[in-house]
Amino acid sequence: MRSWRLPEIETPDGSRSPVVLHSSDEGRAVLIGLLPGQKLGDHQVKEHAFLVVVDGTARIEAGDDKLDATAGTMVAFDPDERRVVASDAGAKILLMLAPWPGEGHYRGDAVL
């Protein structure tokens, strides 16, 4: 068994210092800090994505859906579903991707 105390893990540069907690063929877990005013701009991934707000608040937009998510909120996205995640006051989010890497995920000069 492995465990993590997510609120205690440092992400000093916000989205510029994500922490990969786990990575295997089954999935990947990444802790991402968002400093006040930071956002993960319009993006998508090839994997199923599960986002959990660990601390603070985040504004999540996917298509016409918008959610002001507080700590404890979990959101699921389908592969290739576009989204924006932003925080006015700062947040810490856990992003889980499965499987890792997903079909069609670009890795350097090869597509898996």
pLDDT tens by residue, the chain, 112 residues:
999 999 999 999 999 999 999 999 999 999 999 999 999 989 889 899 999 999 999 999 999 999 999 999 999 999 999 999 999 999 999 999 998 877 777 665 555 5
Determine whether domain 37-99 maps to CATH 3.40.50.300: no
Q: Supply 22's token pair.
A: 């786990």
Intra-chain end-to-end CA distance of the chain, in Å = 29
Phi/psi-derived region of residue 50, left when phi > 0, alpha when psi is between -120 and 50, beta in every other case? beta
* Predicted local distance difference test score (pLDDT) of residue 71: 97
* Spatial CA neighbour of 80 closest among 33, 39, 43, 34: 43
Angle at 31 between CA 100 and CA 7, to 5 degrees: 145
* Predicted local distance difference test score (pLDDT) of residue 100: 84
* Predicted local distance difference test score (pLDDT) of residue 108: 59
- CB hemisphere CA count around 12 (13 angstroms): 0
* Predicted local distance difference test score (pLDDT) of residue 44: 86
